[in-house]
Amino acid sequence: MVLALITGFTGQVGSQMADFLLENTDYNVIGMMRWQEPMDNVYHLSNRINKKDRISVFYADLTDYSSIYKLFETKRPDVIFHLAAQSFPKTSFDIPIETLHTNIIGTANILENIRLLKQKDGYDPVVHICSSSEVYGRAKVGVKLNEDTPFHGASPYSISKIGTDYLGRFYGEAYGIKTYVTRMGTHSGPRRSDVFFESTVAKQIALIEAGLQEPIIKVGNLSSVRTFQDCRDAIRAYYLLSVESQKGNVPCGEAFNIAGEEAFKLPEVIEILLGFSTRNDIKVQEDSERLRPIDADYQMFDNTKIRSFIDWKPEIPARIMFKDLLNHWRDEIKRGRIPLNR
List domains and CATH numbers for the chain.
3-188+230-258 (3.40.50.720)
Q: What pairs with residue 56 in β-bridges?
A: 30
DSSP classification of residue 144: P
Helix, strand or coil, per DSSP, at residue 96: helix
Cα–Cα distances in angstroms (integers) from residue 240 to residues 20, 51, 247, 252, 313, in the given order: 12, 28, 11, 16, 11
The pLDDT of residue 286: 84
The pTM for the full model equals 0.93
CA dihedral 36, 100, 10, 6 (to 10 degrees): -120
212-217 contacts at long range (C-beta below 8 A, 24 or more positions apart): 212/333, 212/338, 213/341, 215/279, 215/281, 215/282, 215/283, 216/282, 216/283, 216/284, 216/285, 217/270, 217/282, 217/283, 217/284, 217/285
pLDDT at 288 (0 to 100): 67
CA 319 to each of CA 225, 261, 312: distance values in angstroms, whole numbers, following the listed order: 16, 13, 20
Give pLDDT, residue 143: 75
> Could you read off the pLDDT tens digit of each residue along the chain, which spans 342 residues?
999 999 999 999 999 999 999 999 999 999 999 988 989 999 999 999 999 999 999 999 999 999 999 999 999 999 999 999 998 888 899 999 999 999 999 999 999 999 999 999 999 999 999 999 999 987 777 778 899 999 988 899 999 999 999 999 999 999 999 999 999 988 999 999 888 899 999 999 999 999 999 999 999 878 788 889 999 999 999 999 999 999 999 999 999 999 998 989 999 999 999 999 999 999 998 876 765 555 556 678 889 999 999 999 999 999 999 999 999 999 999 999 999 887
